[in-house]
């Protein structure tokens, strides 16, 4: 990631010039080298206090390694966190720091940019044929198990709910009181598993995908990296872009891809699915589930 590489360059430069710094600036630099993640989420006063130096010393340290001041110095570290090169608590602290500085306009711009970029990058790497192949496998299957935990549990259930308007073989897992492995116990080559997980990858999802492959289940996986453990040797794998200034992965591209995949399933399905969808919504109207203004 760009931000990570730049912050590493800054650290290398700082380490190389350590002996040329004043004793006090060297204390500040040593703290930064030993706690690089703190830079992206801390003010100059917080860094100075932690390094047991004055704030002006931290500013001088930044200038001695080629930056105009502390804000320029910490910019690469903030970018590294924004791009995901930090754990969730550090990213939450970074967001709080933005609120303190009043730079919510910048956060707004970053959120909008990443939403659009994530969708664009995700679909740029996926061909129509690959989506069609996955859709055909889904339509021809006996059961479709959609697995997601954490934030992706709601994404899996949303996909299952939408599919239920025209199909009955979709099941969001894990079911209440169950585990993904238990839910797949009797599944075989006639079934499909759609699994979703992003960094940090959830163990139960990785294990379920591995077991599904052993049982001959057709596996469709969505993850955020070609190196993801659930994308190895699967039948249909899709890389989704989930970058965000937030402290959790973005779901926008995941939802967009699942909705597109479902539209492909409907497109390759037999004509009966149209009748099913019409019957489903007709029944809802008859039961008064949709609000209708009286004339």
Instruction: For residue 282, give every residue at least 6 positions away whose Cβ sits within 8 Å of its Cβ, in sequence order, or none.
Output: none
For residues 159 and 19, membership in a common domain is answered with no
For residues 282 and 208, membership in a common domain is answered with yes
Strand pairing category for 192-196 and 170-173: unpaired
Distance between first and last Cα of the chain: 58
For residues 33 and 177, membership in a common domain is answered with no
Number of domains in the chain: 2
Sheet strands (E) in the chain? 144-148, 170-173, 192-196, 218-223, 236-239
Sheet strands (E) in 178-285? 192-196, 218-223, 236-239
Whole-prediction pTM: 0.64
Say which DSSP state 202 is in.
P
For residues 13 and 124, membership in a common domain is answered with no
Q: Tell me what pLDDT residue 4 has.
A: 44
Q: Tell me what pLDDT residue 130 has.
A: 94
Which structural domain range is residue 254 located in? 117-286
Residue 226 lies in a domain: yes
Q: Tell me what pLDDT residue 203 has.
A: 95
Residue 174 lies in a domain: yes
Final residue of a structural domain among 32, 61, 85: 85
The segments of the chain whose pLDDT lies below 50 read 1-4
Final residue of a structural domain among 85, 105, 125: 85
Max CA distance (Å), the chain: 82
Q: Tell me what pLDDT residue 198 has.
A: 92
Query: 37-65 pLDDT, tens per residue?
Result: 788 778 889 889 999 999 999 998 888 88
For residues 182 and 50, membership in a common domain is answered with no
Q: Tell me what pLDDT residue 81 has.
A: 64
For residues 133 and 205, membership in a common domain is answered with yes
**What is the domain-level CATH number for residue 13?**
1.10.10.10
Distance in angstroms (rounded) separating the CA atoms of residues 21 and 7:
19
For residues 66 and 122, membership in a common domain is answered with no
Final residue of a structural domain among 44, 65, 85: 85
Cβ distance 80 to 94 under 8 Å?
no
For residues 185 and 55, membership in a common domain is answered with no
HEC sequence for 31-97: HHHHCHHHHHHCCHHHHHHHHCCCHHHHHHHHHHCCCCCHHHHHHHHHHHHHCCCCCHHHHHHHHHH
Q: Tell me what pLDDT residue 273 has.
A: 67
């Amino acid at each position: 990631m760009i931000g990570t590489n730049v912050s590493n360059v800054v650290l290398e430069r700082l380490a190389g010039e350590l002996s040329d710094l004043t004793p006090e600036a060297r204390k500040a630099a040593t703290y930064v080298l030993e706690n690089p993640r703190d830079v992206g989420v801390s003010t100059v006063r917080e860094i100075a206090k932690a390094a047991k130096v004055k704030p002006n010393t931290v500013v001088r340290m930044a200038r001695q390694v080629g930056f105009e001041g502390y804000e320029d110095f910490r910019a690469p570290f903030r970018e590294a966190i924004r791009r995901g090169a930090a754990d969730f608590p550090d990213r939450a602290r970074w967001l709080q720091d933005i609120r303190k500085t009043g730079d919510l306009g910048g956060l707004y711009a970053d959120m909008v940019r990443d939403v659009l970029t994530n969708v664009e990058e995700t679909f740029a790497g996926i061909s129509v044929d690959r989506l069609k192949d996955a859709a055909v496998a889904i339509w021809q299957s006996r059961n479709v198990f959609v697995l997601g935990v954490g934030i992706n549990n709601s994404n899996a259930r949303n996909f299952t709910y939408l599919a239920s308007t025209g199909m009955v073989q979709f099941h969001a897992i894990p079911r209440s009181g169950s585990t993904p492995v238990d839910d797949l116990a009797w599944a075989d080559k006639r079934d499909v598993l759609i699994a979703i997980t992003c960094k940090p990858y959830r163990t139960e999802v990785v294990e379920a995908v591995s077991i599904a492959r052993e049982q001959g289940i057709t596996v469709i996986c969505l993850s955020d990296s070609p190196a993801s453990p659930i994308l190895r040797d699967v039948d249909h794998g899709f890389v989704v872009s989930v970058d965000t200034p937030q402290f959790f992965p973005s779901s926008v591209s995941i939802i967009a891809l699942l909705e597109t995949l479902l539209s492909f399933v409907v497109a390759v399905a037999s004509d009966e699915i149209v009748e099913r969808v019409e019957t489903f919504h007709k029944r809802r109207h008859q039961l008064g589930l949709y609000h209708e203004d009286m004339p």
